[in-house]
Amino acid sequence: MREQEVLTALATVRDPELDEPITSLGFVASCSVSAAGQARVLLRLPTYFCAPNFAFLMVADAYDAVAGAPGVRSAEVVLQDHFAADPINAGVAAQAGFAASFDGEAVAELHELRAAFLRKAVMAGTDLVCRPLLAAGTTPERLRLMVLGDVPPSAELTRLRQRRAQLGLPAGDGAPLLIDPVTGAPVARASRHTWSVPAITALRRNSARSSWSSSAASSPNAPTKPARAATPSLIASDAKWSSRITVTGKPSALTAS
């Protein structure tokens, strides 16, 4: 069915903060494809006041995915039940970009925001790949010396390679496992800590959608920026990086400096 092919294409679109498919998150309200190949997708995000930059990224990516699906001759992606739905829908349909869609409110496109979330995804993905290695007895020092080709194949490793490649970071078999997500340079030292992956995942799911990015364009009718719940802080600067959780007071499985 053509609808299934469109849904498969939509599964490649990910929430920029959670790094999970919008299909599995339940953001696709409906999907239809006419006999003439006209595809129409309705998206609905969990909150009415989801940050417009996050929303725009997902709607624009969904449009590109649907337009490129087999058998689709024309695509329409509509965001529903969102305070900025009108400018987002109009901008995506016209392929006008974020700044033009929010003329006078947005100062730049979202390339850096997308890159920032990809860097977070690289850090989180590295932690997921390293976690079973640590559990199997691999030492932090050994991890530092490993390359991607040393790691057993897994869905987590495949995703990590993909996120690295999207950022232009080394992703081949000979690339170091532990790298700075900004520069791509190998880390100098690694140490081991523990925290619960399920707890962090649940926390991010519950809190991410209620937050505003500091770079978001705000509507004149938008509410005051809500307080952000305590969430994992993923920080990268120069040749140092760390992945830490502030809720439990315990760092992630791996930190490096």
What residues does each domain of the chain span? 2-101, 128-256
Q: How confident is the model at residue 251 (pLDDT cuts 50, 70, 90)?
A: very low
pTM of the predicted structure, to 2 decimals: 0.66
40 or 234: whose pLDDT is higher?
Answer: 40
Over 60: is that where the pLDDT of 209 sits? no
Is it the case that residue 193 has pLDDT exceeding 70?
A: no
The number of C-alpha atoms within 13 Å of 237 and in the hemisphere containing its C-beta is 2
Which amino acid, 18? L
Contact yes or no for 174/149 (Cβ under 8 A): yes
What does the pLDDT look like over 128-183, one tens digit per residue? 999 999 999 999 999 999 999 999 999 999 999 999 999 999 999 999 999 999 99
pLDDT at 218: 38
Q: What is the CATH superfamily name and number for domain 2-101?
A: Fe-S cluster assembly (FSCA) (3.30.300.130)
Report whether 82 contacts 50 (CB < 8 A): yes
Q: Cα separation of 89 and 92, whole Å?
A: 5
Residue 189 banded pLDDT, cuts 50, 70, 90: confident
**Would the pLDDT of 253 be above 60?**
no
Q: Is residue 118 within 8 Å of 15, Cβ to Cβ?
A: no
Q: How many angstroms separate the CA atoms of 141 and 190, rounded?
A: 6
237's enclosing H/E stretch is: strand 233-237
62 versus 236: which is more confidently predicted?
62
What are the start-end ranges of the H helices in 11-104? 52-67, 85-93, 98-101
As a whole number of angstroms, the distance between CA 147 and CA 104 comes to 47
* 81 Cβ neighbours under 8 A, 6+ residues apart: 44, 45, 48
Walk across the sheet containing 38-44 and list its strands.
Answer: 28-33, 38-44, 74-80
pLDDT per residue over 55-74, tens digit each? 999 999 999 999 999 999 99
Confidence at residue 245, expressed as pLDDT on a 0 to 100 scale? 25
Output the average pLDDT for the chain: 78
* pLDDT, tens digit (0-9, with 9 covering 90-100), for 83-125: 999 999 999 999 988 888 887 776 577 888 888 888 989 999 9
Residue 228 reports pLDDT greater than 70: no
b/e per residue 44-75 (b: at least 16 CB within 10 A): bbeeebbbbbbbbbbbbbbbbbbbebeebeeb
